[in-house]
Structure 1
């Protein structure tokens, strides 16, 4: 890096000091300070960085026009003499006053596809980048131009320090899992849902265009990927290091030393599976969960109680975006209900591309803990638990096809049959799909079709507007019960 009289390139503290002068500025103001005598070029740059599809990111802008070095893809930290990695990243305000979340995952470094990967985490280029991160944080608000986002925070922190000691054990385990899969020639099967805090996210304008030959398997191309800290974990880091207002949830791993000789997932399964064979009533008495509680989430409460967590939130699960889903098997080893997911906005759904869609992000990034109970004549019995994430081989083939079929129906206009007591539509039905289907996600149904209202639901609360102007009951994707059954471990069905 070139010498500068603005800050000492060898001193992390001085780099942080200089970065704090960004606080209160917009990205446009940073550009304006650089182009004080060339208004024409300034306006060109503003237009370039305003375009969300522009090749230059806001991070590139800060690197080039504030810190004075050219953006690059070096495996070394951005300030090599000081060992500091710069990350410019957004955060968003939640509806709950005073609460915030990370705007996205934090991409750390590219995973090479044309050479051998590094076996040892502790000597890898990744650990060098995680050692000292300068986080420059800006508030992303809907409706504002990108260059008008304001920088609010600039701070150094370390993933390798004592404060993140137990997290680092999990990150190292994640790294080893990713590297192992790559070395087996299975880079094309990588998914963010494979791991806990450290992910292998796709990189490229589109996932399809990023396909490259694998070093360990020349016959099957794989998407270009990068090591990243997952969005849930980045949210935790921001709350802890920046906002200093983190919600405190119970930890599953009370003693970090427990992870020295095992990984997090194995530890969780060993802990919860100690309760296999016990009835719901026994578990309620043992863990103090009310017998009279008939809430929908009562089985989820039991699951957390078996893990030593008093609420329905565990710190590690929040940081890792692990979703607990309880499954109740019938006596004949079938599942009555499909599994629902958050409702969608029709107009947003109609505009999405598959690789950037809400559904793709959710199913590629989320890891699930399935907690299985089986019905008997007297009571439900706990069968055990398993971690699961949707394989990319399912998501990018059948899942993509079924998503596109649903999107096409929404785009072209949903056709309704109003001649029956129950309004019917032409969205692909569960019986015609293998992985997921779209169906209502509201307590009551309501429609406005060609100006005529149907159903007893509330317009607005229970509905959403279709691209053609009709109003329909809110919908979401549901995982088919038959698909869920097919991915469950066979031991649960005995």
Structure 2
């Protein structure tokens, strides 16, 4: 059985578990999953976990054949994800020290992981609604294709390494209209390619890391672009 066939079996397994929840509003899900309607902390992740009867974001698929992880997506009224999707913090030292792409933590993660994306419709009637009125649509089992792994994803890794190792990374303070100061940089942004980018994933502006160059930068995370998440859902 090839990968596509294995993923189809895994999708069917997820579908069986969530079929009764599809099309239900968050308020209905809370009721059927025995979560208080007043529990404003009942996040989409918490709801997804309850639907699958799991306690963390790791999902047992095909008797643990797949190393699967739960992610959630909110769609706008235009059927577009409301935000980019965040992943692991960037370890700049590891990224620059690793000699080959296949040995990198970024490659190993997406080469190994299968994502299970729980999709919620945020704007059910074309306008913003209360969280309890948001609708659960479906779940998508997905693994990054080899081409994306070795091209789009690798491009982000290569560019980041180049900027740091060649001391081409520029971190520049910029004053906002309100007078506050933010630091901009030339790390791969959402315009770099169609797949992903780096952007802050810190507690606050003071949560920084020292780069191999000696520069200080707010801690960064790797993110999927919004359009790439949309492409995944439509695949």
Q: 1:484 to 1:404 in 2, by over 3 A?
A: same
1:177 maps to 2
| C-alpha separation in 2, matches of 1:313 and 1:334 | 24
TM-score (norm 1): 0.41
| C-alpha separation in 2, matches of 1:408 and 1:371 | 35
| C-alpha separation in 1, matches of 2:88 and 2:54 | 25
Q: 1:327 to 1:286 in 2, by over 3 A?
A: same
* 1:120-149 C-alpha deviation (Å, 9 max, x unpaired): xxxxxxxxxxxxxxxxxxxxxxxxxxxxxx
* 1:292-341 C-alpha deviation (Å, 9 max, x unpaired): 3334x71122112222x163356626944211111000111122211111
2:217 maps to 472
| C-alpha separation in 2, matches of 1:314 and 1:408 | 33
| C-alpha separation in 2, matches of 1:487 and 1:431 | 18
1:429 maps to 189
**1:438 aligns with one of 167, 185, 198:** 198
Residue pairs, 1:362-441, within 5 angstroms:
362-375=109-122, 376-377=124-125, 378=129, 379-413=133-167, 414-420=169-175, 421-441=181-201
1:109 maps to none
User: Cα distance, 1:465 vs. partner?
Assistant: 1.3
- Look up the SS of the partner of 1:303 in the other structure: helix
1:311 maps to 55
Counting matched residue pairs gives: 219
Larger gyration radius, structure 1 or structure 2:
1
Contact 2:118 2:140 in 1 (8 A): yes
Residue pairs, 1:188-227, within 5 angstroms:
none
1:58 maps to none
- Look up the SS of the partner of 2:191 in the other structure: helix
User: Cα distance, 1:433 vs. partner?
Assistant: 1.9
Residue pairs, 1:46-65, within 5 angstroms:
none
**2:40 aligns with one of 275, 278, 294:** 294
Residue pairs, 1:61-80, within 5 angstroms:
none
Contact 1:279 1:382 in 2 (8 A): yes
User: Cα distance, 1:470 vs. partner?
Assistant: 1.5
Unaligned stretches of 5+ in structure 2? 176-180
**Which has a greater percent of strand?**
2
Q: 1:310 to 1:484 in 2, by over 3 A?
A: closer
Contact 2:96 2:165 in 1 (8 A): yes
User: Relative contact order (C-alpha < 8 Å, sep 6+): which is higher?
Assistant: 2
1:145 maps to none
User: Cα distance, 1:408 vs. partner?
Assistant: 1.0
TM-score (norm 2): 0.84
Contact 1:300 1:312 in 2 (8 A): no
Residue pairs, 1:147-166, within 5 angstroms:
none
* 1:158-211 C-alpha deviation (Å, 9 max, x unpaired): xxxxxxxxxxxxxxxxxx335x98xxxxxxxxxxxx66xxxxxxxxxxxxxxxx
| C-alpha separation in 2, matches of 1:274 and 1:482 | 29
User: Cα distance, 1:440 vs. partner?
Assistant: 1.0
| C-alpha separation in 2, matches of 1:465 and 1:368 | 31
Unaligned stretches of 5+ in structure 1? 1-175, 182-193, 196-261, 446-456
Q: 1:351 to 1:314 in 2, by over 3 A?
A: closer
Q: 1:289 to 1:400 in 2, by over 3 A?
A: same
